[in-house]
Chains A and B, each alone.
Chain A
Amino acid sequence: MDVALAMQVLFGGLTTGGIYAMIALGFTLVYRSTTVLNFAHGEFAMMGAFLTITGVTALKLPVLAAFLLAVAVTAVVGVLFERLAVRPVRTQAPFVVILLTLGASTLFRGVAMIIWGKDPLTLAPFSGSTSIFVAGAAIQPQVLWVLGGAIGTVIGLSLFLNKTTYGKALRACSENANAASLVGINVSTMVLISFAISAGIGALAGVLITPITAMEFNGGFALAMKGLTGAIIGGLDRVSGVIFGALALGIIEAFSSVYISSLMKEAVAFVVLILVLMVWPNGVLARKASR
């Protein structure tokens, strides 16, 4: 095997894996605080990207400002979505909640299509496009932004969850919402916060990947499917499982598209998923069933 090529593919895999991991983290954050799988999560990535593009092109903002604004606006959309649509149906059957988020996903895509059109849009790379060479592999600077963003998200999120009062309260809600409310934690506020953070991370992922792959109105949904697949492979109920699954998925996809067939890249992801779940029905790193 050609080492340089393998390195190149590995970096490609890490890049997509990093994005998947960020998407997957957004999924788990909401899942753990509400047991809702938010199928509209990918649309937050799409919104983040499109809003940044609008900020840069129409409002002539610097990329950083446009990006921060986009993340903030997306987080607000996440909060509104939770308040107006998710909360009223949360006590109903899981089906209803899934469907509601699917409906929201469709609505967000539809609105994005009206505002930004059907063609893919892109952003200029944040630090130019002069490739850096590592072990014979040419790497775009944007890849480093993606990897840095993914690592930063993981570190930031674990600091938040483990060191801050709000983070600990959030974890308490995910363990047992009833018990959490008994010790005085406002569960509904926690749910709101988890939606805001989840949407924000989604937007960040969307902005970072856009200079590499461009973004179209239904690009978020495709990302969501991948992030979710990665999260499920690793095991939804653990942050480490989610990151492991998403990175593994990115790398497997990259290698299979080079060494097997690029046409079946999507199929490979799900074949891996089904095989993994046949062996570990709750994901590779799932906690042992407690009862």
Chain B
Amino acid sequence: MSGVLDSAIVLGIIRFLAGRHAWMVLFLVAAVIPMVLLGNSYLMSSFAIIAIFSIVVLSLDLVMGYGGLPNFGVNGFFALGAYVMGVLAAKLGIPLALGAGIAVLLNLGVAFLIGVATLRMKHYYFAVASLGLGVIVVQVIGGLPDQTGGWSGLTGIPKVSALGYTLSSDLAFYVVSCAALFISLAAGRNLVGSRFGRAIQAISTDELATEAVGIFVAEHKVKLFMVTSVFGSLAGSLYVLFLRVPTPANFDVPVLVEMTLMLFLGGQRTLWGAIIGSGVMRLLPEVMGGFHDFTTALQGLTLILILLFLPKGLAGKAEEVWKDRLRPRVVVDRYASAQARNGHDASQRFDGRTPGEGPLLEATGLSKRFGGVQAVSELTFSVPRRKIKAIIGPNGAGKTTAFNLLTKVITPDDGYACFNGISLKAYKPHEVSRMGIVRTFQTPRLFSTMSALENVKVGLHTHLKAGIINALVPLAATRREEHDAEERAYALLELTGIAPRAATIADKLPFGERRLLEIARGLAVQPSLILLDEPAAGLNETEKDRLSELLLRLRDAGLTLLLVEHDMRVVMNIADEVLVMNYGQKIADGTPAEIQRNDAVLKAYLGEDTVYAAN
């Protein structure tokens, strides 16, 4: 087997496929095949529909696959794109291109409103509400027969003509639809690899961790909706030109269900799976020929079998084989190449934004009660600049709650914290992060589907500029920024000592390296203060030493560190100050030497008797 895979021809093919633009060649070849085989036959109309549906399914992949939002409202955008342009052209004689533009604007507005309206809804509630959007659009179209032709269809849409050529044959439509699909696929690929694309993938895996690196989750969700609506709208406008006499049924719930099936059959998080899924679903009836009535049952059965035996979908499975078995044969890890290493100097300073002296963080009377438990009570302490402070205390002492209060993941009942002299009272978690406070979690919360390098790049989010337009069409400046970001991210992986793992998917890293990656991701935010929640937990002695050494190095580079830690050896070795908590209260605060002599601390840790015995 491996002999075949290593033959010169196969390696050549793999090397070609690993190239950046291979997908374009593959797309063109695949697009030409039906034309050569079938010419201008009636089957070309099926292929045109496949191309148009692929665009919508691709947008579904962006929102559901990459964004993790169960948005079932895409058929609403699709229908609006079709009908707004169609009605404007048929009833008011407005040029088609202008109508399509108006439809896009309207869709953007609808997507914005629906995005904002559904922000607070979770899971199934969101899924069903978004499903409602599509139903409402379709029903309103059907319910306005005077304007839209109602359920019997809209007539009078003119044919497209440009430069004296009228678009009418199925073959011509196929070519136009393929061009539109090609552009959509390119835009989708750009988006997924962009700053915005990383943010939405991060959100889909862990919202809390995404906020912790300063990304405003709600904003990104709404924007993702809006992007999807543009794809849907333009595909709808194209589809209506093809249909000529659209009816609401062309956009109703069964179409949505079919598109969802297409996405999963093809494989989500691949983009090109959209084409595979649409192709299989739409060609199945043609292949079935005389057994037309069996199509629906067969589609359902196919989906069940795919989910049971190939849950990643056809394209998803292919990508897995490609990434795990084929591509590694030819790709030299590009991150490990000297070019990336020469870029950024890892010895950056972390106190540039917060110069000066005195405490960097001051907490005053922080309190939080959960039901009958006073988790944190009147907690007052300060963290000096460019020092390491450790919070220790028995389990349940309120240490992690204190972290959550400081980062505003939960709101204190009473008291407040000041960072660099500014009260954090009015700030949200992502804003706290942007001010320069980042945190890690007791159990590392990484973006599990992304590589180590991408995880760090998500951390760089707030320091990069590329917006959605740049993401869809990256010009030189954006590409430079991306390249620069890659180098900065790589430098941080070097700093934390996990650079050789740059291309490894976060999920597959050993535990100790996950902790380090989480720190690297936090450092990417360029914080002045980092809160580490039990950074040494689960590490072996060698790893603990490596960690201690890293934390000291960060302190010397100007970073202020506050850590919750159980491992006394680590704490006593590296901490400049130690705060001891028990039952939500501060029981001691001082240098490690002072703490080790403190009676209250000894009692809390060792019990009363031991202390008396010692005295």
Contact = CB atoms under 8 A, between A and B. Distances in A.
Interface in A68-103: 85, 88-89, 92, 94-96, 98-100, 102-103
Contacts of B129: 232, 270, 273-274, 277
Interface string B287-327: 00000011111111111100110010000000000000000
Given A102-B260, A277-B125, A282-B125, A110 B136 contact: no
A228 B307 CA distance: 23
Given A89-B308, A102-B261, A274-B117, A108 B300 contact: yes
Interface in A85-134: 85, 88-89, 92, 94-96, 98-100, 102-111, 113-114
B612 interface: no
B118 interface: yes
B557 interface: no
A180 interface: no
Given A229-B128, A232-B124, A277-B118, A105 B300 contact: yes
Name the prevailing secondary structure of the A interface residues. Answer: helix
* Size bracket, chain A contacts: 35 or more
Nearest to B114: A274
A202 interface: no
Interface stretch (B137-145, B419-427, B454-462): B137-145
Contacts of A265: 139
Contact of A267 (B143, B254, B300): B143
Name the prevailing secondary structure of the B interface residues. Answer: helix
Contacts of A261: 143
A13 interface: no
A281 B127 contact: no
Contact of A232 (B125, B135, B294, B295): B125
Contacts of A98: 70, 127
A92 B308 CA distance: 10
Contacts of B294: 110, 114
B297 A107 contact: yes
B300 A104 contact: yes
Contacts of B122: 281-282
Contacts of B135: 225, 266-267, 269-270
Interface string B257-296: 1001100100000000000000000000000000001111
Nearest to A107: B300
A263 interface: yes
B21 interface: no
B303 A106 contact: yes
Interface string A262-289: 0111110111011001100111000000
A221 B257 CA distance: 11
Given A264-B139, A267-B140, A273-B129, A88 B124 contact: no
A88 B309 CA distance: 10
B308 A99 contact: no
Contacts of B257: 102, 105-106
Given A88-B308, A266-B139, A281-B122, A106 B128 contact: no
B140 A89 contact: no
A236 B295 CA distance: 34
A196 interface: no
B124 A37 contact: yes
B597 interface: no
Nearest to A290: B371
B261 A106 contact: yes
A48 B129 CA distance: 28
Interface string B118-156: 101111110111011101100110110100001000000
B123 A103 contact: no
Contact of B123 (A92, A94, A218): A94
Contacts of B124: 37, 232, 236
Contacts of B304: 85, 100, 103-104, 107
Nearest to A39: B257
B307 A89 contact: yes
B128 A110 contact: no
B465 to A, nearest CB: 33
B383 interface: no
Given A236-B124, A277-B118, A99 B143 contact: no
B307 A113 contact: no
B300 A110 contact: yes
B293 A113 contact: yes
A223 to B, nearest CB: 13
Contact of A277 (B121, B143, B296, B297): B121
Contacts, number: 135
Contacts of B303: 99-100, 102-103, 106-107
Contacts of A106: 257, 261, 296-297, 299-300, 303
B602 interface: no
Contacts of B123: 94
B64 interface: yes
B266 to A, nearest CB: 12
A99 B297 contact: no
Nearest to A267: B139
A271 B143 CA distance: 15
A221 B254 CA distance: 10
Contacts of B150: 263
Nearest to A109: B296
B298 A110 contact: yes
A195 to B, nearest CB: 16
A232 B121 CA distance: 11
B325 to A, nearest CB: 23
Contacts of B300: 103-110
A111 B293 CA distance: 9
Contact of B70 (A95, A229, A267, A271): A95
Interface in B311-365: 311
Given A100-B307, A266-B135, A113 B128 contact: no
A263 B146 CA distance: 13
B253 interface: yes
A202 to B, nearest CB: 18
Contacts of B302: 103
Given A89-B311, A113-B293, A99 B264 contact: yes
Contact of A95 (B64, B118, B297, B299): B64
Nearest to A281: B120
B297 A110 contact: yes
A111 B311 CA distance: 23
Nearest to A222: B253
Nearest to B143: A263
A264 B143 CA distance: 6
A105 B136 CA distance: 22
A220 to B, nearest CB: 13
Contacts of A225: 131, 135, 253
A111 B297 contact: yes
Nearest to A229: B128
Interface of B: 64, 70, 117-118, 120-125, 127-129, 131-133, 135-136, 139-140, 142-143, 145, 150, 253-254, 257, 260-261, 264, 293-304, 307-308, 311
- Interchain residue pairs A-B with the least CB separation, the first 9: A110-B297, A107-B300, A270-B132, A106-B300, A110-B296, A103-B303, A263-B143, A267-B139, A264-B143
Given A99-B264, A105-B257, A106-B297, 17 more contacts: A94-B123, A99-B303, A102-B257, A103-B300, A107-B303, A107-B304, A109-B296, A109-B297, A109-B300, A113-B296, A264-B143, A266-B139, A270-B132, A270-B135, A274-B129, A281-B121, A282-B122
8 contacts: A232-B129, A263-B139, A263-B142, A264-B140, A266-B135, A274-B136, A281-B122, A283-B125
